């Protein structure tokens, strides 16, 4: 426990004697510590809006892609690319803390965090519990939560936002 977040000291909540920061930033991070705001599935994310714009700009390109495929096999896969782009353009998850969670990860934190009245796994007295994730995903989950605990939420948020999301 013991994290703080200021961001101009607006929107501070108090819970269990701790300062729990700015709702806006809290809502960007999932209970397991992933950045929902940069997620490819997030309905209000940049990946969704940029994909939507690109999909619009490429509307009707299929015909040209077929012509280009005659000399460049890269374009033989254009329709698959367009399908994936359309998928990104329809980002469908409201984020881990919303009522519309469509996370593809087999994640327990999104439900048991609420039951335990905690915002992040590192606050949980069972952290790192055995049921959450496996392999590399699990290692990264533990690293993220240890980092949040050590450095505080504000610093963690800034640090991770400067790294690639995937």
Pick one of 112, 137, 142, 146: the residue that binds ligand SF4 (CB under 6 A).
112
DSSP secondary structure string, the chain?
A: ------GGG-S-EEETTEEE--HHHHHHB-TTS-BGGG-TTBTTSHHHHHHHHHHHHTTTTHHHHHHHHTT-GGGGGHHHHHHHHHHHHT--B--TTSS-----S--SHHHHHHHTT-SSGGGSTT-S-TTS--HHHHHHHHHHHHHHHHH-HHHHHHHHHTS---
For ligand SF4, the binding residues in 73-102 under the rule CB under 6 A are: 93, 95-96, 101
When asked if residue 20 is in the footprint of ligand SF4 (CB under 6 A), the reply is no
If the CB atoms of residues 34 and 65 are measured against ligand SF4, the closer one turns out to be 34
Asked if 42 is part of the footprint of ligand SF4 (rule: CB under 6 A), the reply reads yes
116 binds ligand SF4 (CB under 6 A): yes
Q: Which residues lie near ligand SF4 (CB under 6 A)?
A: 30, 34, 36, 39, 41-42, 93, 95-96, 101, 103, 108-109, 112-113, 116, 121, 124, 126-127, 129, 132
């Amino acid at each position: 426990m013991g994290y703080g977040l200021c961001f101009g000291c607006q929107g501070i909540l108090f819970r269990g004697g701790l300062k729990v920061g700015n709702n806006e930033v809290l809502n960007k991070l999932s209970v397991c510590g992933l950045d929902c705001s940069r997620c490819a599935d997030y309905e209000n994310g940049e990946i969704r809006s940029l994909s939507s714009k690109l999909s619009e700009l490429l509307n009707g390109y299929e015909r040209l892609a077929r012509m280009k495929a005659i000399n460049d096999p890269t374009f033989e896969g254009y329709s698959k690319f367009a399908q994936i782009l359309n998928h990104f353009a329809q980002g469908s998850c409201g984020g881990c803390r919303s009522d519309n969670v469509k996370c593809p990860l087999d994640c327990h934190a999104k439900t048991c965090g609420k039951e335990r009245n905690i915002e992040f796994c590192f606050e949980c007295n069972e952290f790192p519990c055995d049921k959450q994730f496996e392999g590399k995903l699990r290692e990264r989950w533990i690293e993220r939560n240890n980092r949040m605990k050590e450095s505080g939420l504000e610093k963690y948020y800034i640090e991770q936002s400067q790294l690639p999301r995937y």
